Amino acid sequence: MDYEELLMEKTAWYYYLENMTQQKISELLGISRMRVIQLLNKARKDGVIQFKIRHDSARRMETERDLIDVFGLNDAFVVPTNPVRENNNETVAKAAAMYIQDRLEPNAFINIGYGDTPSRVLNNLANMAENPISVVSLTGGVRYYLPNTQSNIFNARLYLLPTPLLASSKEMAEAMLQEASVKEVMKLASLSPITVVGIGGINEESTVMKSGIMGRNDFLLMKMRGAAGDILCHFINKDGEPVDTDIEDRLISTPLSTLKTLNNVIGVAAGKSKVEAISAALAGQYLNVLITDEETAIQLIAVKRAALEEKSERIGGKRHAK
């Protein structure tokens, strides 16, 4: 351990655990106050000091209980919406990392799906962990599973499918899936106690779109066929049923049927543009746990309740729920 790191630890300890002022700390450690500030910044950035919200499962807030009830989930974690950011991916990713760290047994594996948010979850987790975490990818396309930021500690052992996300042809995809190295990773995935997936929306900002896997025309087509969103690049309609796509047979990604056999599938997603997609994923019962922000959660519940009400009206006589 080098000297800088030791200073960082001490500084963070004195500041956050002992409530000393920066002035005191600088005197104690014989450095300038400026350096204390810089060390604290670095400590926060590098995850040497971590902030954790205690979130009793015993006292879930109303929105969380509603999510659990309305959608039949095992658990839900709702974080406050940051009205300033344009998207809350980083926020929910942080929450997911917190959630997982509390529940991950030492040396257990985690499956991570494709997308911006899962990628952030991974980065946050790797940054927080004291011991390296073991991560299994659920799709091809290695880029999204690699560290985002430059200099940070990335405390993870990665077991990635050594393939692209999309093969050039159906034959190629099939051949790749037969590779021993590919089968091996897929086998690992079936053993992980925790799985993290993102949920893609049908819009310009979606990862599938931005990464150039699908063009705008493909998207329009998909929309016409009733696609409401995607999980692991498998597109689904609003009831959660798979939608046939042109890319499906070239895709190297864990099948939705396999996903359903996994335990503790945690969906992490937030944003107005994703409400429809998340609803679809929930309808399809792909998720056991949902981590999202408050705004999204409220919309999800409202949409579902409206649908339920409409249904009960159509079926007959029952008066409106108040």
Quick count: other Cβ atoms within 10 Å of Cβ 31?
15
Amino acid letter for position 309: E
Residue 261 binds its own copies, judged by CB under 8 A: no
> Which of 33, 35, 55, 304 forms a contact with its own copies (CB under 8 A)?
55
Closer CB to DNA, 35 or 103, in the complex: 35
Site for its own copies in 153-192 (CB under 8 A): 155
User: Which among 195, 86, 88, 87 has a CA at the least distance from the CA of 78?
Assistant: 88
Closest approach, Cβ 84 to its own copies, in A, equals 8
Site for its own copies in 60-79 (CB under 8 A): 60-62, 79
> Measured on CA atoms in the order 304, 261, 258, 180, is the torsion positive or negative?
positive
Closer CB to DNA, 30 or 316, in the complex: 30
Residues 215-234: x/- map of binding to its own copies (CB under 8 A)? --------------------
- Chain residues in the site for DNA (CB under 7 A): 4, 15, 21-23, 31-35, 37-38, 40-41
Closest approach, Cβ 49 to DNA, in A, equals 12
Residue with tokens 């962990």: 129
**Helix, strand or coil, per DSSP, at residue 128:** helix
Binding residues with its own copies: total (CB under 8 A): 43
Given a contact cutoff of 8 angstroms between Cβ atoms, the answer to whether 293 and 79 are in contact is yes
Residue 86 binds its own copies, judged by CB under 8 A: no
Closest approach, Cβ 266 to its own copies, in A, equals 16
**Helix, strand or coil, per DSSP, at residue 14:** helix
Residue with tokens 């997911």: 96
User: Any residues with CB less than 8 A from the CB of 32 and at least 6 apart, and which?
Assistant: 26
Residues found in the chain = 322
Closer CB to DNA, 31 or 70, in the complex: 31
Given a contact cutoff of 8 angstroms between Cβ atoms, the answer to whether 298 and 84 are in contact is no
- C-alpha 245 chain-centroid distance: 24
| 103, interface contact from DNA, its own copies, none, CB < 5-8 Å by kind | its own copies
Q: What gap in Å lies between CA 231 and CA 206, rounded to an integer? A: 12
Beta strand 109-112 pairing with 133-137: parallel
| 38, interface contact from its own copies, DNA, none, CB < 5-8 Å by kind | DNA
| 86, interface contact from its own copies, DNA, none, CB < 5-8 Å by kind | none
Residue 35 binds its own copies, judged by CB under 8 A: no
Q: Which stretch binds its own copies (CB under 8 A): 5-13, 188-196, 237-245, 256-264?
A: 5-13
Query: At 123, which helix (H) or strand (E)?
Result: helix 116-128
Closer CB to DNA, 7 or 197, in the complex: 7
Closer CB to DNA, 48 or 247, in the complex: 48
Query: At 93, which helix (H) or strand (E)?
Result: helix 89-103
| 277, interface contact from DNA, its own copies, none, CB < 5-8 Å by kind | none
Residue 120 binds its own copies, judged by CB under 8 A: no
